[in-house]
Structure 1
Amino acid sequence: MSELSIETVRAAIESHPDPETGRPMGKTGQIVEVTVDGKNAHIKLGLSSHSAAIADEVAAMLESKVVAASPGANAKVEVVPHHRIAPRSGQAGLKIKSVILVGSGKGGVGKSTVAASLALSLQQFGSRVGLMDADVYGPSVPQLLGLEGRPAITEAKRIEPIRCGDMPVMSMGFLVERDQAVIWRGPMLHGSINQFLGETEWGELDYLIIDMPPGTGDVALTLSQAVPIAGSVVVCTPQEVALLDAIKAISMFRKVNIPILGMVENMSGFLCPDNGKTYDIFGRGGARAKAEELDVPFLGGLPIDIGLRIAGDEGRLAEVMANDEQARAPMDKIARAVVRNLASKAAAAPAKPSLPTL
C-alpha cells in the first residue's frame, strides 16, 4: 500500500500491456499525463484507434490498478488518441494492422452478414476498417451494403474501392453483372484474390475484414501466403449439421497456421415481438459447447433479427448498424471479444519496437 502520488500512479500502470502491440505502456509513450490532487488521480492515456472497441475496458483496468496500489484513492482515466502508423506487411505490402478472416464450413449460416456487421461495428467504435468480399462465386456484400458501380483505376494503375461511407469495400460483385456467374479454375481465383489484396487502394487501416467463401477451398491458403493473418472468426448456426462443417473450417485454418479468434453462433434464438418469448428455432448453445470441446474461444451469439434481415435484403445494413444501438448490441459484444482476444495474443507475444509514432 502506497500513498497516492504521480510516482505511485505511474508505477502501478506503466507495465500494463498496450492492447495493440502488447508492449508496456510506460515504454510506448502512452501514459501522456498524470496529475494528483489529494486522493484523486487523473490519467491521460493514449490508445490507438486499433483498440477503440475496448478503450473503456482498458481505462477501467488501469483505474483499478491505481486504487489497488493506493487504497482509498480515486482514479479517472481519460483516453486520448495515440497515432501509430501501420507498417507494410506481406507480399502485398498492405498498410493494415490486422487482417481478420470470417469463414464457415458451409453456406447459409449468415457468414457475409456477420463479416459486414463486424466491419461496421468496429468502424462505429472508431477504428479504420476495410471490407473485402473474397466469396468470388457468390458475392453478397454489395447487396448487404447497398453498393453498386465499378471500381475506378487510378493513374498508378491501382483499383479504387467502392466506399460505404468512409469504409473501402472490394468485391467481385462490382465487376460482374448480377445475373452472371463467375466460372473460374483455381489459378484465376488465386490471381483475383491477390489482385484484390495487393492492387486495391485500401489506405492505412486498423482492420481489413475478409468475407471468405464457404467451405474449405484454397482461398485461405492463398491469403495466408499473401499477407499475415491476425486471426479468423468461424460462423455457424446451433444445429449439429452446421457444427460439423464448422469443425472442418477450424481444421482448415489450423492447417494453414491461421489463428482462430473464436466462434460465433448465428441465428441463436428468436425473440417474438408479439409475446416476448424466445424460440430456439435452430437450437441454442451448440456453438458454445463445440468451442469448449475444440478449445476455441466463444465470441457470442447473434439472435434472429427480422429488422436486420430486412435491412440486409434492402441494402440498408450499414444504416441500421449505425443508428439502431439495440440491433447492433450483440455484434458490438462480438467485436469487443475479437479485439480483446487480439490484445491477449499481443500481450503474450509483444511486438518488437518499430518506427516512432507520429
Structure 2
Amino acid sequence: MPELSESAVRELLDQYPDPETGRPMGTMGQIVSSQVSGQSIRAQIGLSTHSRPIADDVRDAIESKLVAAFPGSSVELTFQDHPRPPARVGQTALRAKSVIAVGSGKGGVGKSTVAASIALTLRRLGSKVGLMDADVYGPSIPHLLGLQGRPGISESKRIDPILLDDDPNLFPMPVMSMGFLVDPSEAVIWRGPMLHGSINQFLGMTDWGELDYLLIDMPPGTGDVALTLSQAIPLAGSVVVCTPQEVALLDAVKAAAMFRKVNIPILGMVENMSGFLCPDCGKTYDIFGKGGARAKAEELDLPYLGGLPIDMKLRVAGDEGRLSSLLNQDDAARAPLDAITQAIVRQLAARSVSAPTKPSLPTL
C-alpha cells in the first residue's frame, strides 16, 4: 500500500479517466492542484461542461479511490471548468460533442416532451445544449418551450436559430424547428427528398454555436429521417421513448430495430406515463400498465434509463409553454428527469472509458 504523499496522490489522479474522452486526466491537463496535509487530501480538478451533469458521480468515484488507496485519509475535491471546444461533426459545420436522437415507434407517447425535458435538464445541470425539432410534419417543440419568431440569416449566410434565454445563470439554448417557419394552421406536405433537404439544412446550415449536446426530436414511427441522420452525421446515440402498454412496446421494438439497422447506438429506453400518483389519496394508479419498458429493455439487452410518472404540472406547463420554468423551479417534477438525463450521460461516459477517443486535431 503506497504511503500518503502529494506525488502518490498526483499519480493516482493523473491516471483517472476523464468521463468525456476516456483518456487519463493527467494527460488532458485536468489536475489543477493537489495538496496533502497530514491525513487530509485536497485537490482541484478540471471538468468539461459535457461531463458536468455527472460531477457528483466523478467526485464520489475519485474520493472513494483515494480513501481506498490511503486508508484513514479525508478528501476534499473541488471542480473548475475545463474548456474543451467541440470538433466538427462529420463533414458538416455543426460543432457538437454528442448528438442524441430521441425517437419512438408511435405517436402519442410524449416523445417531444421527453426530448425537450432532457435538453432542458442537461442545460440546467451545466451543459451547452441545442434542440432540433426533426418532426417536420408535427413540430411541437416551439409550443412546449413558449418560443416564437422566425429564424433570420446571418452575414455568413447561416440560419440563426431561436434562442431560449430565460435564465441568466444558464447557457442560452439554440432551438430550430419547422414550427418557426410555417404558420401553425398550415400543413407541411413534402415528399422524401424535401424532408431530407430540410433535415440537412437544419443540421449543417444552422448557426448552433459550440455545443456539448444536440438533442434531436425525431418524428414518430420508423420513417426515413433516421436514415437521413445516419448518413449526414455520426450520432452518439439514441433514446427510445414508450409507454408501459403492450401496443406501445411493440412499436418501441420497431424503433429500436430501426436505430440498430441504420447503425445508431441505442443509449436506452425511457418509460413515459409510468403510473399516476393521485394527489388526493396518495395512491399510485398504473393507468397504462407497469414495468413494461423495463422488461422489454431487458429482453432487447438495452439499458433502462428510467420512468416518468404522469405529472399534471408537467402537462399544464407544456401546454402553456412553461416547461423550462417548471423544471427550473419544481424539485419533484424534475427529479425523475434528472435521473434519466444523468443515466444517459453515464452511458456515454462508460463508452468513452471503454474506448477512449483519439485527440482531435485543431480545425483550420
SS of aligned partner of 2:26? helix
Report the counterpart of residue 58 of structure 1 in structure 2: 58
Q: Could you tell me how far 1:156 is from its partner in structure 2?
A: 1.6
Q: Could you tell me how far 1:355 is from its partner in structure 2?
A: 4.7
Q: Could you tell me how far 1:203 is from its partner in structure 2?
A: 0.2
Q: Could you tell me how far 1:3 is from its partner in structure 2?
A: 2.3
Report the counterpart of residue 221 of structure 1 in structure 2: 227
Quick check: 1:203 aligned with 2:209? yes
Report the counterpart of residue 169 of structure 2 in structure 1: none
Correspondences of 1:264-275 after superposition (within 5 Å): 264-275=270-281
Report the counterpart of residue 331 of structure 2 in structure 1: 325
Quick check: 1:27 aligned with 2:27? yes
Deviation by residue 1:254-286 (Cα, 9 ceiling, x = unmatched):
011100000000000111110111111111110
| Counterpart amino acid of residue 320 in structure 1 | L
Deviation by residue 1:244-263 (Cα, 9 ceiling, x = unmatched):
00000000000111000000
- 8 Å CA contact 1:60–1:77 kept in 2: the answer is no
Quick check: 1:251 aligned with 2:257? yes
Quick check: 1:311 aligned with 2:317? yes
CA distance in 1, matches of 2:338, 2:192: 36
Q: Could you tell me how far 1:13 is from its partner in structure 2?
A: 2.8
Return closer, same or farther for 1:46/1:355 CA change in 2, 3 Å cut-off. Answer: farther
Report the counterpart of residue 160 of structure 1 in structure 2: 160
CA distance in 1, matches of 2:162, 2:146: 11
Quick check: 1:190 aligned with 2:196? yes
Report the counterpart of residue 123 of structure 2 in structure 1: 123
Report the counterpart of residue 114 of structure 1 in structure 2: 114
Q: Could you tell me how far 1:155 is from its partner in structure 2?
A: 1.6
Structure 1 residue runs without a partner (length 5+): none
How many percent of aligned residue pairs carry the same amino acid? Answer: 70
Q: Could you tell me how far 1:27 is from its partner in structure 2?
A: 1.2
Q: Could you tell me how far 1:26 is from its partner in structure 2?
A: 1.7
CA distance in 2, matches of 1:108, 1:21: 36
| Counterpart amino acid of residue 135 in structure 2 | D
- 8 Å CA contact 2:93–2:205 kept in 1: the answer is no
Quick check: 1:150 aligned with 2:156? no
Q: Which deviates further from its counterpart, 218-227 or 112-121?
A: 218-227
CA distance in 1, matches of 2:5, 2:299: 47
| Counterpart amino acid of residue 177 in structure 1 | D
CA distance in 2, matches of 1:171, 1:295: 33
CA distance in 1, matches of 2:127, 2:141: 20
Q: Which deviates further from its counterpart, 4-13 or 342-351?
A: 4-13
CA distance in 2, matches of 1:164, 1:281: 34
Report the counterpart of residue 100 of structure 1 in structure 2: 100
| Counterpart amino acid of residue 93 in structure 2 | G
Report the counterpart of residue 174 of structure 1 in structure 2: 180
SS of aligned partner of 2:294? helix
Q: Could you tell me how far 1:2 is from its partner in structure 2?
A: 2.4
Report the counterpart of residue 11 of structure 2 in structure 1: 11
Aligned residues: 356
- 8 Å CA contact 1:41–1:73 kept in 2: the answer is yes
Deviation by residue 1:136-178 (Cα, 9 ceiling, x = unmatched):
0000001101111111111221110011111000000000000
- 8 Å CA contact 1:270–1:281 kept in 2: the answer is yes
CA distance in 2, matches of 1:56, 1:81: 14
Report the counterpart of residue 78 of structure 1 in structure 2: 78
SS of aligned partner of 1:50? coil
| Counterpart amino acid of residue 194 in structure 1 | N
Deviation by residue 1:85-142 (Cα, 9 ceiling, x = unmatched):
1011212231111000000000000000000000000000010000000000000001
SS of aligned partner of 1:25? coil
User: Which TM-score applies when normalising by structure 2?
Assistant: 0.96
Deviation beyond 6 Å, 4+ runs, structure 1? none
| Counterpart amino acid of residue 299 in structure 2 | E
CA distance in 2, matches of 1:24, 1:281: 47
Quick check: 1:350 aligned with 2:364? no
Report the counterpart of residue 276 of structure 1 in structure 2: 282
